[in-house]
Amino acid sequence: MKSLKKEISLAIRKTQDEDRASHCQKFFKTGKEEYGEGDLFLGVRVPELRKLAKLYKKISIDDITHFLKSKYHEERQFALFVLLIQFKKADDETKEKIYKLYLKHTRYINNWDLVDATAHEIVGGYLKDKDRDILYKLVRSDNLWERRIAIIATFFFIKNNDFKDALKLSEILLPDTHDLIHKAVGWMLREIGKRDLKTETSFLKKHYANIPRTSLRYAIEKFPPQKRKQYLDGEL
């Protein structure tokens, strides 16, 4: 009798594509000393993985963990999509289990697409009415992806017009040297600006001298062209 894990693994591989896998290896920077070094791809598209996650949404935590530890990016992505579905439907006790599982396995949530699709819902969603000290621990981690999880988690708060932690974490991350952190900070600042432009511009003016250029470009992306030019030219 075929095991459920084997069934899912075969289902994921049913639409694998070697050419797409090769493209993903380059796009997600899997070369030596790149941020995704050593990751392996099957070449399965995200919509297919989401469809499979819905089909197998009731699988056990043990089965999810099995795929979360996979050497293949898409199997880890599938596991995270299932976790996300289960989290949204879960009671408080199960949400806590999923949240703890997520943070225990951050070493496998190791590229920006994996973080961005799940951190705000699972980490941010769980912490919405709880102590958020864990974010201040993650944001100081040596692990790039834990730092990105911390700032992306605040997207959940931002959507609910709660900007305090996003601004504090962004300030902590200003000296960060990694481009993927610069982009994430700029993205969160832009999202704040969509809801409260005064709060965003106040932060930008206060930290203009220290904000990385990439963060600034992302943060002001939706500004009118003339205003954007003023920021980029330092004519505030």
Helix, strand, or coil (residue 68): helix
pLDDT (tens digit, 9 = 90+) per residue, 49-100? Answer: 999 999 999 999 999 999 999 999 999 999 999 999 999 999 999 999 999 9
What whole-number distance in Å separates Cα of residue 188 and Cα of residue 165? 11
Mean pLDDT, rounded, for 191-209: 96
pLDDT (tens digit, 9 = 90+) per residue, 140-172? Answer: 999 999 999 999 999 999 999 999 999 999 999
pLDDT given for residue 235 in this prediction: 73
* Residues 6 or more apart whose Cβ sits within 8 Å of residue 159: 120, 191
The proportion of the chain whose per-residue pLDDT surpasses 90, expressed as a percent, equals: 96
* Residues 6 or more apart whose Cβ sits within 8 Å of residue 114: 73, 76, 77, 80, 145
Specify the residue for token string 């997520």.
102
pTM: 0.95
- pLDDT higher than 90, residue 1: no
pLDDT given for residue 204 in this prediction: 96
What whole-number distance in Å separates Cα of residue 13 and Cα of residue 137? 37
pLDDT given for residue 236 in this prediction: 67
Q: What is the mean pLDDT of the chain?
A: 96
pLDDT confidence of 233, banded at 50, 70, 90? confident
Mean pLDDT, rounded, for 99-116: 98
With the CA atoms of 158, 160, 163 and 169 taken in that order, what torsion angle do they form, in degrees rounded to the nearest 10?
-50
